[in-house]
Amino acid sequence: MDRVLKTWIAPALLGAAGLAAAPACAAKTLFFSGMTWTVRPNGQGGPRNNTWCEDNAFVDANGDLHLRISKLKGNKWCAAEIVSDLRFGYGTYQFQLKSRVDLLDRNVVLGLFNYPTADVGPDATNEIDIEFAKWGDAKADMLNYTAWPVQAALGPWGNTFPLALDGSASTHRFIWQPTYIRYQSTHGHYDDNRFPIADWTFAPADYAQRIAHAAMPVHMNLWLLAAPSNRKGVEVVVSRFTYTP
């Protein structure tokens, strides 16, 4: 698993467990799946010192979220990220996609995850990830589940699975509880795993050190390890995000 530094967090997000409202900020915002999200502003930064463009994240007339990677001048490319203006604690996090994420270029990464604010912990801690990435290796599995520990020295734990979709619709979720994290992916848009792609549970004996306890915002990002090997832009559509306590 490639360790990356995610150095940007929306200028909001404070409060106790569960849901906490965030103060207003000047950054671009989107309304998607019944809540407000802050778009990562134009600039450069981790992971992998990507260039980020606000215009590469938008919601269409049908209410679907679009995340794009677009080509700039020369050999530069621009990525996209959004972060929820609410924090979420234990519960079920579900993402419904309308794109063939099994066909992403080997240098492209789509991340669906929660991520600690500074009061929760530093980078490489607490995070719970679903990522679609081959990490530069065309022969690698595409679907990645990863749990980052409370104590950074313990290192992440995860599993990977092959991904071959039967259409553009797929559902991916993680169920975060105090003693375990269960990950599931299914063909189609369903609230259960009736057409399973993968189902994996992380339930370590030392769960207090390895599984996050504090509420965190949700991030969705689309970024690059290097320029796409196929030299093409990318667009991923997320039709819905839901959180169930």
Structural fold of domain 29-244: Jelly Rolls (2.60.120)
The answer to whether the pTM exceeds 0.95 is no
Q: DSSP for the chain, please give it.
A: ----------S----SSS-------SS-EEEETTEEEEEPPSEEETTTTEEE-GGGEEE-TTS-EEEEEEE-STT-EEEEEEEEEEEE-SEEEEEEEES-GGG--TTEEEEEEE---TTT--TTSS-EEEEE--TT-TTS-SEEEEE--SSGGG--EEEEE----SSSEEEEEEEE-SS-EEEEEEESS-SS-SSEEEEEEE--TTHHHHS--S-EEEEEEEEESSS-TT---EEEEEEEEEEE-
The Cα 152–Cα 39 span in angstroms is 27
What is the structure's pLDDT at 75?
86
Strand partners, 50: 45
The model's pLDDT over 124-136, given as tens digits with 9 standing for 90+, comes to 999 999 999 999 9
The Cα 86–Cα 66 span in angstroms is 20
What is the structure's pLDDT at 11?
56
The model's pLDDT over 11-69, given as tens digits with 9 standing for 90+, comes to 544 333 333 344 445 789 999 999 999 999 999 999 999 999 999 999 999 999 999 99
The series of mean pLDDT values per 10 residues for the chain, 245 residues long, is 52 39 68 98 97 98 98 94 98 98 98 98 98 98 98 97 98 98 98 98 98 98 97 98 98
CA dist list (Å): 232 to 70, 137, 142: 8, 17, 18
Peptide linkage before 47 cis (omega within 30 of 0)? yes
Size of the chain, expressed as the number of residues it contains = 245
Phi and psi based region of residue 118 (left: phi greater than 0; alpha: psi -120 to 50; beta: remaining): alpha
